Amino acid sequence: MVPKLKLLFFGPPGNGKTLCAEIIAAEMQLPLLYVRFDSLIGSYLGETASNLRRVFDYARAGVGVLFFDEFDAIGKHRDDRNDVGELKRVVNSFLQLLDNYDGRGPIVAATNYENLLDYALWRRFDDAVYFPQPNEKELEQYLTMRLGGFKLEGFNIRDAASWCLGCSFSTVNRVVTDSVKTMALAGEILITNGMFRDALERARAADLHRLERVSNPSVSS
């Protein structure tokens, strides 16, 4: 059986795409080669494509898991009306590099915005894996794991899971951490419904603010 070495992870943020890439690298006992796009994308014509080639050359020469996070930064549609031609060159270069890749380590790309990716990119990957928002059962399992060592006063984990529907695992993790911190600062030994719901409200407000800043970079902090 031929191993799948080119993987695309997609889905809303905070649900384990980066963690999964880290686990793949750990299980294969390989280093995770994390590609930083702020260093990859150049301001001069052809510079980004040239940087991409260097990355693939490095991965081909060694053995590691090559990880492109926020992949939509370079994999956008080539018919983007705001593009002056450089984007097409970058995408075409990436397609060619991916087709010709013969390294021994996997290539993993992750995006929160799969609708922005060029259609041709999807066909170049051996598999595309969707990371959805957790359902109520998954949230209940996660909260049971995270809160299993704490005393809970009138606190029902199943109810808490229903309150968290629509949140990512990352958001729920922040809620738990915030609840525990509130408990500790108050000198209490129990986590209450009020602590948890207040933390959930703060986390949702922070997520909304972050989304507004992504949608409108001019929004001030």
Q: Write out the DSSP string of 91-125.
A: HHHHHHHHHH---SS-EEEEES-GGGB-HHHHHHS
Same domain (yes/no): 141, 124: no
Task: For residue 26, give the CATH number of its domain.
Answer: 3.40.50.300
Q: Which amino acid is present at 56?
A: F
How many CA atoms lie within 13 Å of 220's alpha carbon, on the beta-carbon side? Answer: 0
Q: What is the mean pLDDT of the chain?
A: 86
Q: pTM of the prediction?
A: 0.83
Same domain (yes/no): 65, 91: yes
**Phi and psi (nearest 5°) for 18?**
-65, -40
Look at residue 90 and give its three-state secondary structure.
helix
Domain's final residue, options 113, 130, 147: 130
Choose between 55 and 43: higher pLDDT: 55
Taking CA 140 as the corner, what is the angle to CA 132 and CA 153, rounded to the nearest 5 degrees?
145
Q: Write out the DSSP string of 51-73.
A: HHHHHHHHHHHS--EEEESSGGG
Domain's final residue, options 70, 97, 130: 130
Inform me whether the pLDDT recorded for 13 exceeds 90: yes
Domain count, the chain: 2
- pLDDT for position 104: 85
- Pairing of the two strands 127-130 and 107-111: unpaired
105, 4 Cβ separation under 8 angstroms: no
Stretch among 12-16, 96-100, 114-118, 172-176 having the lowest mean pLDDT: 114-118
**Structure token pair of residue 16:** 């384990």
Inform me whether the pLDDT recorded for 78 exceeds 70: no
220 within some domain:
no
Same domain (yes/no): 105, 143: no
Same domain (yes/no): 145, 124: no
32, 66 Cβ separation under 8 angstroms: no
The Cα-based distances of 49 to 42, 44, 93, 144 in angstroms read: 9, 10, 6, 47
